[in-house]
Amino acid sequence: MITAEQKPIEEIREMIAPYKRILVAGCGSCVAECAAGGEKETGMLASTLRMAAKMDGKDVVIQEKTLDRQCVNEFVIQLDESIDQYDAVLSLGCGAGVQAVAEMYPEIPIIPALDTEFLGETMSQGLWIENCLGCGDCMLHYFGGVCPLARCSKQLLNGPCGGSMDGICEVNPEVPCAWQTIIERLENFKALERLEEVYPPKDWSKKQGRGPRKIIREDQQR
Amino acid sequence: MIENNKLEQRLKEGAFAVTAECGPPKGADPEAVMKKAEMLKGKVDAVNVTDNQTAIVRLSSLAACSLLKSAGLDPVLQVVVRDRNRIALQSDILGAAALGIRNVLCLSGDHQGFGNQPEAAGVFDLDSIQFIQVVKTMRDEGTILGGEPLSKSPDLFIGAAANPFADPLSFRVVRLAKKIRAGADFIQTQCIYNLDRFEKWMEMARDRGLTEKVFILGGVTPLKSVGMAKYMRNKVAGMDIPDAVIDRMEKVPKEKQREEGINICVETIQRLKEIEGVHGVHVMAIEWEEAVGEIVEKAGLLPRPRS
Amino acid sequence: MTSDKKPVLALFYCQNTHASGEDERQALEQKYGDSLKLFPIPCSGRLEPLHLLKALEDFADAGYVITCPEGACRYFEGNLRAKKRVERTREMIKSIGLEEERIGFLINSKEGPKPLTDLADEIMDRLANLPPSPVLGPSVQGRATGSRQRSKGDKV
């Protein structure tokens, strides 16, 4: 899932300050799962912003609507019926959602209410961790199901570095050393000797190609 | 044999080699480098120049190596993969060779979050082991990554770092083997204070026949004070300073602690000389280069042979 | 800042907490009239920050929650969740410059549980000197009607 966190209210208020009729647009997918931009959070943010406007004596209309998915045009288009009432959209979608709305309604300014963070996993309630870089060339089978690019601070493909102590990363004591985990996993599979080979340099062209990456599936197209 | 390479020559003759570390200044200040060059000249076989160590911006390692070279020293260019992608790394290797630099130490580098540019993007396009392999291929095959030929190969003696004190111990020797397989000619280790653990690591390296394939230089750093010892133990990742060392520093009065630090360092070198498979010592006197001469002398390693 | 108008409290309370039935509710409504809007909820864990925010936005000078004593929640940890949500809501109103005292919670005592009426009195006393909410403004203050709030409460 794509994770995100809400920007500070002060920052959001600054960004929406020039506008008088604002649609606060939530998204019911990934950002709802990580409690950043779902229906609840959208309601809370809109309510808070309305209160702030009243306290400032500002005559501003702030309304909310949560789409099932902000990054899919079929859902974005549901804004058609009301979009003309607004002079700005404050989106609680991830970066992809914000851009999908902007693409659909290029004449209306769109403002991000969230900072999009990473591709991650819900480890437990209220805890999300990054574990995928979206590199375009998955190697997880080789590293015992642990991605060294996403989870090693130095992105070592031939780790661990010299700073791994007691299974903890030298860069952040709250983070387990990804390489310690890789070694333990491969020990379980009796495949530790795999790590004696030098793993070759990563082909980054699969992540940073020429401009944004694209997936085309003719069988899925109309 | 690489021409004009004192370090390689010394090691291949079977002598106990001595290298030291020189940290470039935080400014465009060639005199600071030359001053350190004067301190180290005649005391060591080669001088490592750190590459923005602890992720703090300093005069470039390549430039400082060139200055040392002009002062008649044999520099070891430290290069970290933190700040350069594969294009820049390979380019710098060619540049270094063209300037007559004959040794390179391939490193990951301290994470950018530790230094004075914590907002920097970490590059880490290659890791240190891949980088070693790239340099070796450039030297031995005359090609860059992807196979394109070079008009002239860089003639370099390739080094790598090893930390015998990090975890997991069993994997530390695997990693050493991997660095050798990738192409390391020599190894400089993390600072040694825990000699027992170092000896265990060396034994494991010998068992795998690794000491026959690579020259190992044991790293030492003289402690300036008990405060420094505690700081390194508690704050520096991958550092193993036993309580006995801290106690020893604590027992002497403050004004004698530098002397005691030098004594510990000299004793460590004496023991390193006795360990089978240790080919030399790498003295990292952090911002204390003037101590190197004294340490080397007390350890009975002077005069250095002239080549 | 002084005002003749009494502060309006939106009071959410767990129906499982001691003496919080229909009698207590009626007694409180008679005593405080429009100054107190009661929202019984099956467990304080069902409370969402949005309920508190909406109350502040629409009619209330303050929003409070009464929870069961720690360790006494019928649903194990509903009261603990309520506590965290109240804290989060406080952060939000603080960020727009609203006094955080306008949001709060009261944990009923384990040793000597008090009836809802006593707890409500305690909170009303605590709020006696609370200035009118700047969110509601002079023209809006006190406009909330019982019927409107009743329907809101049912949604909870």
Interface test with A, best of C51, C86, C95, C96 (most A CBs within 10 A): C96
* pLDDT reading at B204 higher than 70: yes
Q: What domains does chain A contain, in order, with CATH numbers? A: 2-118 (3.40.50.2300), 135-206 (no CATH)
CB contact under 8 A, C50 and A48: no
Q: How far apart are CA A198 and CA A187, in angstroms?
A: 18
A144 contacts chain B (CB < 8 A)? no
Amino acid symbol at A219: D
Report the chain A residue with the minimal C-alpha distance to residue B183. Answer: A198
What is the pLDDT at residue B123? 97
Report CB contact under 8 Å: A43, C135. Answer: no
Contacts of A188 (CB under 8 A, 6+ apart): A144
Distance from CA of B190 to the nearest CA of A (A): 8
Taking each continuous run of H as one helix and of E as one strand, the counts in chain A are 7, 7
Minimal C-alpha gap between C96 and chain A (Å): 6
Residue B152: strand, helix, or coil = coil
Over chain C (156 residues), what is each successive 10-residue block's mean pLDDT? 75 89 92 95 92 97 92 82 94 96 92 90 93 79 40 38
For residue B4, pLDDT over 70 is answered with no
Query: Cβ contacts (< 8 Å) between A204 and chain B: which residues?
Result: 125
Angle between helices C78-95 and C49-58 (to 10 degrees): 40
Amino acid identity for residue C82 in this structure:
A
Of B124, B129, B238, the CB nearest to A155: B124
Q: What is the nearest CA distance from C97 to chain A, expressed in angstroms?
A: 8
- Minimum distance, in Å, between the CA of residue B17 and any CA atom of chain A: 24
Query: Would you place residue B307 in the very low, low, confident or very high pLDDT band (cuts 50, 70, 90)?
Result: low
Q: Is B120 an 8 Å CB contact of chain A?
A: no
Calpha distance B85→A44 (Å, rounded)? 44
Taking the C-alpha atoms of residue C48 and residue C113, their distance in angstroms, rounded to an integer, is: 25
Q: Hey, what CATH topology would domain B6-298 get?
A: TIM Barrel (3.20.20)
What is the per-residue pLDDT across A173-207, written as a single tens digit (0 to 9) for each? 899 999 999 999 999 999 998 999 999 999 999 99
DSSP state of A165: B
Each domain of chain C, given as residue ranges in start order, spans 9-155
Q: Which helix (H) or strand (E) holds A187?
A: helix A178-188
The tokens describing C60, both together, are 């209330």
If DSSP states are collapsed to H, E and C, what string results for A13-37?
A: HHHHCCCCEEEEEEECCHHHHCCCC
Chosen for mutation from C46, C47, C50 (greatest number of chain A CBs closer than 10 Å) is C50
CATH number of C9-155: 3.40.50
Residue A205 gets the label, from left (phi > 0), alpha (psi -120 to 50) or beta, of alpha
Beta-carbon contacts of C119 under 8 Å, excluding residues fewer than 6 positions away, are: C13, C66, C106, C108
Which chains pack against C, by 3+ Cβ pairs within 8 A?
A
Q: How far is A50 from chain C (nearest CA, A)?
A: 8
Tens digits of residue pLDDT in B81-99? 999 999 999 999 999 999 9
Residue B29's pLDDT is what?
96
> What is the maximum alpha-carbon separation in chain B?
61
Rg (CA), chain C: 15
Whole-number mean pLDDT of chain C? 85
If you average pLDDT over every residue of chain B, what do you get?
Answer: 95
pLDDT of res. B158: 98
Q: Would you state the pLDDT for residue C156?
A: 39
**Which of B149, B151, B176, B154 lies closest to B77, judged by CA?**
B154
Are B46 and B296 in contact by the 8 Å Cβ rule? The answer is no
Amino acid occupying residue C79: N
Nearest residue on chain A to B190, alpha-carbon basis: A162
Helix axes C78-95, A39-55, angle to 10 degrees: 40
Contact A47 C97 (CB under 8 A): no
Instruction: Identify all chain A residues contacting B129, using CB atoms and an 8 Å cutoff.
Output: 158, 198
Shortest distance between the Cα of B15 and any Cα of chain A, in A, equals: 28
How much is the average pLDDT of B29-40? 96
3-state secondary structure of A51: helix
Q: Are strands B157-162 and B215-220 parallel, antiparallel or unpaired?
A: unpaired
Mean residue pLDDT across chain A: 95
Give yes or no for a contact between C107 and C67, defined as CB atoms under 8 angstroms apart: yes
Residue ranges in chain A modelled with pLDDT below 50: none
Q: Phi/psi at A17 (nearest 5 deg)?
A: -50, -40
The C-alpha atoms of residue A35 and residue B67 are separated, in whole angstroms, by: 57
Q: Is A66 helix (H, G, I), strand (E, B) or coil?
A: strand
- Cα–Cα nearest to A156, from B107, C134, B53, C145: B107
* Tokens (6 digits) for B67: 């200055």
pLDDT over 90 percentage in chain B: 93
List pLDDT tens digits, range B146-187. 999 999 999 999 999 999 998 888 789 999 999 999 999 999
- Say yes or no: A44 contacts chain C, CB-CB below 8 A: yes
- In this structure, what token pair is assigned to residue B290? 């003037």
Domain ranges of chain B: 6-298
What gap in Å lies between CA C113 and CA B138, rounded to an integer? Answer: 80
User: The tokens 């500070």 sit on which residue?
Assistant: A8
| Residue B10 and residue B45 in contact, taking contact as beta carbons nearer than 8 Å | yes
Say which residue the tokens 């170092």 belong to: B198
The DSSP call for residue B295 is: H
Residue of C nearest to A13 (CA): C96
pLDDT of B3: 56
User: And the tokens for A38?
Assistant: 């779902």
State pLDDT tens for residues B37-52. Answer: 999 999 999 999 999 9
Q: Hey, are the CB atoms on A9 and C95 less than 8 Å from each other?
A: yes
Quickly state the pLDDT bin for B238 (edges 50, 70, 90).
confident
Q: Which of the four pLDDT bands, split at 50, 70 and 90, describes residue B306? A: confident
| Backbone phi and psi for residue C38, each to the nearest 5 degrees, phi listed first | -100, 135
